[in-house]
Structure 1
Amino acid sequence: MCVTIDMRKIVVFNIVFIAFITFGMCLYLFVDSKQIKIKVAGEEAMTNGQRLKCTDIPKRVKVGVGTGAVMDPGTWANGSPARPHAPMDQIVPMEAGFEPDVSTDFPSADVRATTIPRTMHQMWICEEEACGADAVKGKGIVVPKQFKQPVISFFKHHKDWTYYFWGHANGRSFIKHNFSILLPVFDSYVENVLRSEMLRYTVLYVFGGVYSDLDITFLRPLDRVTARYTCILVPEPFEHPVFTSGQPYRLNNNLIFCRSRHPFLKLLIDNLARARLLVHTLDISGPGFVTMFYTLYTNISGDEIFHADIKRDTNDTSPYFYKGIQPENEEDGIYIANTQYFVLPVPNIGAARCVQERFRSRLVERMCTYLRTRRRARNQYTFTTHDWTNSYVRPDQFRETITLNFTIETFLSVDRISKRSFQSALQSTLN
């Protein structure tokens, strides 16, 4: 059988295909390119959604300093010079891993003062057919039954905090009234975890405070964590990014501490619409998304993610990796916390790669060496443990929910939870 090929049709098809791809790339790069107004809790904030940069960050010029180090010759407004840095392998021993072992309490100031509001935000967003009408309408604290004890653990240790619980109804209403331009994005998400991630960034931007996943158990009060820095992020266990993506760190979004109106939160919110075009959930609005914009916010580029600070305070418990040019203790700074304060226990993922020589790299070698010596036991300085349930991966296992509509007297007598905390919870969920 003879088949005739019409070359003109092939050429036309190729032209159309290339034009389509080009249009898609342009749409990705320039979506939301015009100035858009976002109503944020009574004020109008201007945002330029197409720009992947923070306009407050100065341009950076690289100059060689020593062996492989890079230093910014400029200074910040307070006169402090940018930190020198070099490849981690040059200045941090392999067996030291990625962060110091914790032997002191979390760095803090006068705990009577607060730089971050003592307000907790938690949420569970799901459809009515899966979780029932109460979960959708936001009536009470409706959570999967697996999370009952972790939620109660917060109240046990935070008698004077304010508590907000967000469901689908009050969460969507909040987006509608405060970030209306993002409501179509919120509604278009195909996974509830994406809606939850948009909601956590926006409520923190408006109210400030702490966001926590429901599978985090609290072991002691977080008061001292809120008394020094204005925004705190916690990395994932380092084996996660090292073994899964070949990166030295990834910043998690399951526990975030931040003051209201922090420019880093605004940077995240401004780019949620654009990032929805990405493929993986982690990159659309999750830890990959947070990490990408952290490096942008702190002006870290290229191989600098594999660098470490040259000059470190011997009492500093923060991870070794280079934190960029933004001072952590400034009003708009970001402090990176040691994982040993917050994310125990650590799932031992990827350890098999340590015996597979063909997968070894300098980064994997550092991780494997660290795994043999790392001290991971809970101690008196541990604030939280994380169960790593990954409920968004297996949503069918979290369909059965319970409603924590206890009376105030029950909380006070059984769990010693303050009247103020519980009233704040009820008020927020019923609004």
Structure 2
Amino acid sequence: ERIPRIIHQTYINNQIPEKWLPAYRSCQQVHNDSSWTHVLWTDDTARNLIEESYPWFLPTYDSYPYAIQRVDAIRYFVIYHFGGFYLDLDIGCRKTLEPFQQFDAIFPKTQPFGVSNDMMAALKGHVFFKQLITELKGHSYRVGTKYPTVMWSTGPVFVTQQLANFLRTKQNQSNAAVPTSSSIDGTVRVIPHELYASAKYSFFTHHPGSSWHGWDVQVISFL
């Protein structure tokens, strides 16, 4: 095993909304032995981690105009700091996550391209997560309305772009062949969409989420 048996999740406080309790409880039930640790990060405990261990990032963290940006950011910091798995509260567990522990880091492939940040995992101190937390500060700018700002500054587009940069650097260093989407040079693995989607053989279930999306995502989706 490489990735620690820790499941990190986040919410404003300890009072998880009823609509997400089935997903939350499913992960606790599937991973119910003492070898697994479940951590629910609240707004207060998340900020405390930044303040105590990463004070250089606190001004950026506090200055984000949207709360979801802090929710995005803290997930990269907790995985870098402790290692383990991160799951959004609207993602449930159909099977144990143990098979993923053999890898150094994982992200789910999304459609039509890129990776998501609603489920991910890595070793403590993983080099790609170090890149993520380091690059956040330089991407804290607005991109029009809320949705594109979040996506490009802290969200999945940010992660996808950083992963592309990471791979490019690795490839230049090793002069290796272009890696495949399923296995990326032994340090980051992008799991197939089928193992992440709501299929009977996937590891996860998906419940209503995206609570931060506003009118602008509807416009962008239409375009």
TM-score range, shorter chain: 0.7 to 0.9
C-alpha displacement of 1:196: 0.8
Indicate the residue corresponding to 1:220 in structure 2. 95
Match of 1:253 among 98, 102, 117: 117
Q: Counterpart of 2:190 in structure 1: which amino acid?
A: I
Structure 1: how far apart are the matches of 2:60 and 2:140?
Answer: 8
Shift of the alpha carbon at 1:189?
1.0
Contact 1:237–1:343 at 8 Å: present in 2 too? Answer: no
1:321-360 matches, within 5 Å, as 327-328=185-186, 333-344=187-198
Q: CA deviation at 1:271?
A: 1.0
Tell me which residue corresponds to 2:130. Answer: 266
Q: Does 1:236 align with 2:56?
A: no
Equivalent residue in structure 2 for 1:293, among 151, 155, 162: 162
1:164 to 32, 36, 39: 39
Gap change, CA 1:151 and 1:340, over 3 Å in 2: same
Matched AA of 1:121: H
Aligned equivalent of 1:276, options 140, 143, 146: 140
Pick aligned residue for 1:391 from 211, 216, 222? 211
Partner of 2:73: 198
Look at both structures and tell me which one has the larger radius of gyration over its CA atoms: 1
Which one of the candidate residues 187, 206, 210 is aligned to 2:85?
210
What is the correspondence of 1:20-99 to structure 2 with a 5 Å cutoff?
A: none
Change (3 A) 1:278 1:264: farther
Equivalent residue letter for 2:120 = I
What residue identity is the alignment partner of 1:234? P
- Per the normalisation by structure 1, the TM-score is 0.45
Aligned residues of 1:220 and 1:384 also touching (Cα < 8 A): yes
Write the mapping of 1:115-194 to structure 2, written as runs, cut at 5 A.
115-125=2-12, 135=13, 141-160=14-33, 161-194=36-69
**DSSP-derived class of the 2:168 partner:** coil
- In 2, are the aligned partners of 1:268 and 1:290 still within 8 Å (CA)? yes
The offset of 1:190, in angstroms, is 1.5
What is the CA–CA distance in structure 2 between the aligned matches of 1:264 and 1:311, rounded to whole Å?
A: 16
Question: Aligned-pair distance for 1:343?
Answer: 2.4
Distance 2:76 2:178 in 1: 32
State whether residues 235 and 252 of structure 1, in contact with CA within 8 Å, keep that contact through their aligned partners in structure 2: yes
Q: Distance in 1 between matches of 2:111 and 2:20?
A: 21
> Separation in 2 of the partners of 1:224 and 1:165?
23
Q: Give 1:335's aligned amino acid.
A: R
Matched position secondary structure for 2:7: strand
- Report the Cα offset of residue 388 of structure 1: 5.2
> Aligned partners of 2:64 and 2:19: how far apart in 1?
25
CA distance in 2, matches of 1:258, 1:156: 22
| Structure 1: runs of 5+ lacking an equivalent | 1-113, 126-134, 136-140, 239-248, 301-308, 313-317, 345-377, 395-431
2:16 aligned counterpart, secondary structure: strand
Using the TM superposition, give the Cα deviation of residue 210 of structure 1 relative to its aligned residue in structure 2, in angstroms: 0.2
Contact 2:80 2:123 in 1 (8 A): yes
SS across alignment from 1:385: strand
Provide closer, same or farther for how the CA distance between residues 310 and 266 of structure 1 changes in structure 2, counting only shifts above 3 A: closer
Q: How many pairs are equivalent?
A: 202
Which stretches in structure 2 are left out of the alignment for 5+ residues? 144-148, 170-176, 215-223
Q: Percent identity?
A: 27
> d(CA) in 2 for partners of 1:124 and 1:282?
19
Higher helix share: 2
CA shift, 1:387, in A, is 2.9
Does the 8 A contact of 2:196 with 2:203 survive in 1? yes
Contact 2:20–2:207 at 8 Å: present in 1 too?
A: no
Secondary structure of 2:8 counterpart: strand
Matches of 1:168 and 1:271, distance apart in 2: 22
In the aligned structure 1, how far is the partner of 2:209 from the partner of 2:46? 22
After TM superposition, the score normalised by the length of structure 2 is: 0.84
Give RMSD over aligned pairs: 2.2
